[in-house]
């Protein structure tokens, strides 16, 4: 929940101008709902993907204050973040709710960025793998293999989001490997290898390279660092060198 409309326009215009020739990595932005239409129009025809930060699981109805997937698709979005840690911790979204949203995303024809991750107390009590597996298993209930193969999964340890604390590359790599192995076991190697697994949690220009060289880290879900065009561009250009 950051920037003004003009600030958002300036940000994406800069990204569009500076990243025109970047073709070996995918780049996307996920603005607040009220900015989506304007920023989609600016980025139309560019390689930069536009996604929403959330959506409701119903297509329409008496859900005052909510936004449906049909609405965000109509204005030009192709992606949507589902289950971000702040949706889970602040707004009480359960694995069941997130599963309903994922089903709705695929039904509408959008592409989900499905977020999972543990809280600090869960890591300290060595429950990371159990928490992550439960979020995966319950979040992906009754999705087809074809749908699973279209996922982007973002591992974002809650204790590292907006805190300035980043999981070490080894910690991130360990959980990413656990996620990949879970996917292989449940859906087979062919499906599992199609899925991108991003790391999210205080990603910055000075730590992104060490994170991205981990074997199972396929990209980054960038938070606060994406609000400054120069900082975000630096992260993207670092990713192109991996």
Positions annotated as catalytic residues are: 84, 156
**Rounded CA gap, 216 and 219, in Å?**
9
Closest CA to 70 of 83, 52, 84, 82: 52
Angle at 28 between CA 25 and CA 33, to 5 degrees: 175
Beta bridge partners of 80: 52, 112
**Rounded CA gap, 218 and 234, in Å?**
17
Under 8 Å between Cβ of 204 and 183: no
Side-chain-side CA neighbours of residue 98 (13 Å): 28
Phi-psi region of 62 (alpha: psi -120 to 50; beta: other; left: phi over 0): beta
């Amino acid at each position: 929940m950051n920037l003004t409309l003009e600030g958002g326009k300036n940000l994406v215009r800069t990204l569009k101008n500076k990243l025109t020739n970047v073709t070996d990595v995918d780049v996307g932005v996920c603005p607040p709902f009220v900015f989506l239409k304007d920023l989609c129009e600016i980025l139309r025809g560019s390689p930069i993907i536009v996604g929403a930060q959330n959506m409701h699981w119903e297509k329409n109805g008496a859900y005052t204050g909510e936004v449906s997937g049909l609405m965000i698709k109509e204005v030009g979005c192709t992606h949507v973040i589902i289950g971000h840690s702040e949706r889970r911790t602040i707004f009480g979204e359960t694995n069941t709710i997130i599963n309903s949203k994922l089903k709705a995303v695929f039904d509408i024809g959008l592409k989900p960025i499905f977020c999972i991750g543990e809280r600090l107390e869960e890591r300290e009590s060595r429950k990371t793998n159990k928490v992550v597996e439960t979020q995966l298993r319950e979040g992906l209930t009754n999705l087809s293999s074809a749908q699973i193969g279209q996922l982007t999964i973002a591992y974002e340890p809650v204790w590292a989001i907006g805190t300035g604390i980043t999981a070490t590359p080894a910690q991130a790599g360990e959980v990413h490997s656990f996620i990949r192995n879970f996917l292989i076991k449940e859906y087979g190697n062919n499906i599992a290898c199609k899925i991108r697994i991003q790391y999210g949690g205080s990603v910055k220009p000075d730590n992104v390279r060490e994170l991205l060289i981990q074997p199972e880290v396929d990209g980054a879900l960038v938070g606060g660092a994406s609000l400054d065009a120069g900082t975000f561009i630096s992260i993207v250009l670092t990713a192109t060198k991996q």
